[in-house]
Structure 1
């Protein structure tokens, strides 16, 4: 009888363990989730993160909070998330810059492929070439002509060395056969403020960051990397129309966790992202600023990151970018 009682109790405890695990799985997220943005407020990555966090909070009935940790081209924030517990409560919202980091730094404190658990590509945008409102340049041809006459006399701002805005500028210089002087900032938002203030001469920005400044008359747009002109900016030519048909740079903005995060949590987060970007009001808000929601699977996003690390590495090498 004692043996039978022991077996029954063991079975009961095993069942309780299964039930407890099931409840834990069902209740994620059981507390606030932090989405870390590796740049200062005001840039497109920050905008996407805040839009997504708001929608995910509404759907899950739990708080998704955005925290900005700018500096070192996003490596400060990324390192912090990679040191966090892999439990789904510390996430990273990054952009195309992430795929560029291996081409910029000799050594990173994490493996850019093995140490992350991709969740979803949230959105993508074309980039746009902008200058201050009082700039003498009214076309790409004007800018290129002046840059060729006096190499490195014109400055271009970016969200940091090795950032997407930096390498987008390097690609532009290569294809236009010009040389500009790079001025890095701690994020695309800061770089844009510098451009508006006339501190730098030119910048290549993601459309959600730039469009409000363009429509308000604070900056001028010279070309956009979309295949066709945007309805929001019908007078802005594509790069192809401006004489640079091979300039097709696009930015992505995606969510990742630390490797080791349970697969069921990654799956739940992915579904939360998909449900969030499927919302018509979110799609309209993004489209208004020239962006498109994506909502890819973890596997698709993982392959995209790996492919872009390779392609941006070749671009950086061609641009002669020295690793730091």
Structure 2
């Protein structure tokens, strides 16, 4: 009798995963897409239309839930603790493979506590100066950074983030003297760049495009390996003289650890359908985003390689979290 009872309990616990495998997922139960940042940022901007497209295609309900704080760790930890039943996912990004560098004592392990599902988008970053800056080219900026006594001030959306590490890597490769000015997010950094309080910043393209198109900011280079269709006249870093630095911001979907393979496959297939709709393709094009970047074919292997790559960058620039 005890054996039968234990078997019944085990089957009950496995029911969500089994129902997903049977093909009736998501059913009537809402699926949470946890965005580990506040509303209005680049993560949220991409997540909401994608959630709507997946709802329309599946007949289910995909709900975006903003859980910001601690550089994205709170939202990610929320997903790590969730049941691996196909109803809680993380709308994550490159930031989650960088966090272990900046926060060695994280409450979870990105490599083992999250299940990579698939790539959602890849966008270049841009090296920005204000429109009236004396720096017309990247070479102008590097030359001044090398020769001026005080160096240049660059803004970041937070210490230990992608743009901070990218700028420090740029500084190492070019020999330009640069000092970081950290802000609580990209928006206040852009405000100070426009106001002349800082000289430059690295920023994700969707956050910068409107200011570039309006003529308020100038893009000196894109950080991707190839030019962006959204800014076809802007050279890559390699074309502008910095060949050893190529960085793109990528966004991807993650589930909790031990997510059944059938659930991952269902979610991956639905996500691919949504990304192929005309509406999403048009939105992504407007944001300067693509869906065929590194990681599109084997996202789990890509995430593992990114964890290794950014750990190596952290060592190269001698990044010290406590400083």
TM-score bracket, shorter-length normalisation: 0.7 to 0.9
Matched, 1:269 2:267: yes
Query: In the aligned structure 2, how far is the partner of 1:320 from the partner of 1:54?
Result: 42
Query: How much has 1:106 moved relative to structure 2?
Result: 1.9
Alignment match, 2:67: 69
Query: How much has 1:256 moved relative to structure 2?
Result: 0.4
2:311 pairs, out of 290, 308, 313, with 313
Alignment match, 2:155: 157
- Does structure 2 retain, via aligned residues, the 8 Å contact 1:239–1:247? yes
- Does structure 1 retain, via aligned residues, the 8 Å contact 2:294–2:302? no
If the length of structure 2 is used for normalisation, what is the TM-score? 0.85
Query: In the aligned structure 2, how far is the partner of 1:146 from the partner of 1:297?
Result: 37
- Does structure 2 retain, via aligned residues, the 8 Å contact 1:73–1:162? no
Alignment match, 1:8: none
1:179-232 CA-to-partner distances (Å, cap 9, x unmatched) read 322233343445434434444321112222222221012211101123443343
Which portions of structure 1, spanning 4 or more consecutive aligned residues, are displaced by more than 6 angstroms? 295-299
Query: How much has 1:234 moved relative to structure 2?
Result: 3.3
Structure 2 stretches lacking a partner, 5+ long: 1-10
The secondary structure found in structure 2 opposite 1:26 is coil
- Does structure 1 retain, via aligned residues, the 8 Å contact 2:34–2:66? yes
The secondary structure found in structure 1 opposite 2:132 is coil
Alignment match, 1:3: none
Query: How much has 1:29 moved relative to structure 2?
Result: 4.5
1:226 pairs, out of 206, 224, 227, with 224
CA RMSD of aligned residues (A): 2.9
Which of the pair has more CA radius of gyration? 1
- Does structure 2 retain, via aligned residues, the 8 Å contact 1:118–1:299? no
1:117 pairs, out of 94, 115, 118, with 115
Matched, 1:169 2:164: no
Query: In the aligned structure 2, how far is the partner of 1:181 from the partner of 1:295?
Result: 31
Alignment match, 2:52: 54
Query: In the aligned structure 2, how far is the partner of 1:93 from the partner of 1:228?
Result: 26
Query: In the aligned structure 2, how far is the partner of 1:265 from the partner of 1:158?
Result: 37
The secondary structure found in structure 2 opposite 1:243 is coil
Alignment match, 2:176: 178
The change in CA–CA distance for 1:170 and 1:134 in structure 2 (over 3 A counts) is: same
Alignment match, 2:4: none
List aligned pairs for 1:65-214, cutoff 5 A. Answer: 65-150=63-148, 153-214=151-212
Query: In the aligned structure 1, how far is the partner of 2:66 from the partner of 2:148?
Result: 38
The change in CA–CA distance for 1:137 and 1:309 in structure 2 (over 3 A counts) is: same
Alignment match, 1:285: 283
Query: In the aligned structure 2, how far is the partner of 1:172 from the partner of 1:234?
Result: 22
Query: In the aligned structure 2, how far is the partner of 1:191 from the partner of 1:36?
Result: 25
1:220-251 CA-to-partner distances (Å, cap 9, x unmatched) read 11011234433432332221221112221122
Query: In the aligned structure 1, how far is the partner of 2:171 from the partner of 2:269?
Result: 40
Query: In the aligned structure 1, how far is the partner of 2:285 from the partner of 2:86?
Result: 29
- Does structure 2 retain, via aligned residues, the 8 Å contact 1:25–1:265? no
Corresponding pairs, count: 309
Query: How much has 1:314 moved relative to structure 2?
Result: 0.8
Query: How much has 1:298 moved relative to structure 2?
Result: 9.5
